[in-house]
Structure 1
């Protein structure tokens, strides 16, 4: 029970990667290919843990965020400047472009309660995210995001269970990798929505604030195991529920179809039940996207990482404001999103390589530096991030 009380930074990561993008991708994967691509989610959980465990050690043992580590290890001025430009382009500008989607996704869940007023719902979601960030307490943010993950777990795991999925086909999808037809891009998409660079910045920064002793490393790792595993399970359940709805209704699953499928079991409360899950997914990402951007920008520019500093707040405030304006106007900043995809495609393998490199610094980490197995798995993940990065860049052309 005491270990459960220590869950926090890992849940922040899970809350960050289960956003509207993940919900949409998992839903489309289930509707289009059934249970076949479940293995790609299982693999993405493994890849995420390999990278995030390194971020945990960076935060606990070295008491540094990823941005701070970049500034310390990149001694040449040109390399430090290039890294800062790339991080700000991919994470700050990128998350600003994606924030409208996060807010709109959350608004989709809450709008039935507000008479389907999407604009009002978007404003309320954005203001709620801004208020929680303005409080400037990592403990408050942790508790809220843990609650969001718990809500998503209850809704989507319950939905997948109640829709009577095919257990044998689920097992086959999990442990027998297959990519039928044109599903390769969908499989890469499922992995790409889970393995994201800004979570490394977010995780290390939260970890160093929560745990200051190297003896806490075991607890921090358990936190990551539980939270990232739960996040992967939730994503799987979204895909499973979408598959079940598609099989039963013959249509692609979404909020209306999923809630309609649960109506025989939940009655009129089905729409609200599923809507709360969509709200939790969107609101959690509406909080973590600007938060990660603020951490990344502040650290690479040497501003520190105090949640209450004016510079830190100015970054997330700008992103939340952009998200509110774009979502209420129903405006999609296509050119900015394309730019962000290219920047993220470049940043992901670079950051993955940097993490493996710095974790081999025995002067900094001593006995906590990478083992042979850590390096082996790290190299495998670097290859994966190269594939994801190239795919992300190619997809915009």
Structure 2
């Protein structure tokens, strides 16, 4: 019997945690923009078709091209190492606690509270408050937690099946690492595999083709009410980038990315932004054909992959350190993600009487919400048992 053992590690990559902080702030900025933009897709909105209101729409659309896919990639980085240490069964139970409990808590508490404005109308129709409380709204931003839970449980099932098949064939894979077995928790391999231009281009091609074929069935703007998924048109990107995160852990791709590739990706992202915005506008116009849809799918993912590569290299080279404030922010970032709708809506309601351009109100809301979210998250996590989940 052959045993291929993983070498456990405990260190983390500071720049990956710093990227998670940045993306969490970007989520707050995204939903703050929806509050005052011409897109009324948030719990509390003050729609504006002014120039700054339109600018906030553009900001939100550009974010959507890449930032949640990036979140899934980063989430995937730490999954293999966690399964290595705990085993598939214990890992699955841990995910059900760490992701399932916040999802259920949001559904039972935050979701109906954020939808209370709908109660008078539904009460007038004869609906009971109890029925309203348990049926109004959807998971909101916690759709990310919902999808991530499904993906992580699927990976745990894959690892359990792989281990079972390995035992039957006489090869025991300790932690499921295999011959390339390498550092799990921090997402770095002992011998990083080079990431060439064609590999990055291939990823763009796979993402573009998968997105195009998917959007023939699930066009942009589709909303899945049953599961509360606001952007199912981007599901191929979410799933593929999560898998890229899993593979990057084993192959050391984060370390292998070069500074030159980072600069090249930044240039491509800047140039590709205009292409992505233009083709997306054409693809969502009435009567748009398959060619416009294909161009949009490819252009969006050129921008998305380029931004992700550029940010990975930038943070690895320039923002890898973690001073005390960054450690604090990283520890509380998931709790911030869970509670931020309550904070954003509360602050926006307080400032509703303020007469100011949409862009100004957006900046005020974001400036207040960032410290408030982290402050409330810190206090929440000090409650006994909460830090185990958040």
Tell me whether the two structures share a fold, i.e. TM-score over 0.5: no
TM-score, length basis structure 1: 0.28
For the pair shown, the structure with the greater C-alpha radius of gyration is 2
More helix by share: 1
TM-score, length basis structure 2: 0.28
> Structure with the greater relative contact order (CA < 8 A, sep ≥ 6): 1 or 2?
1
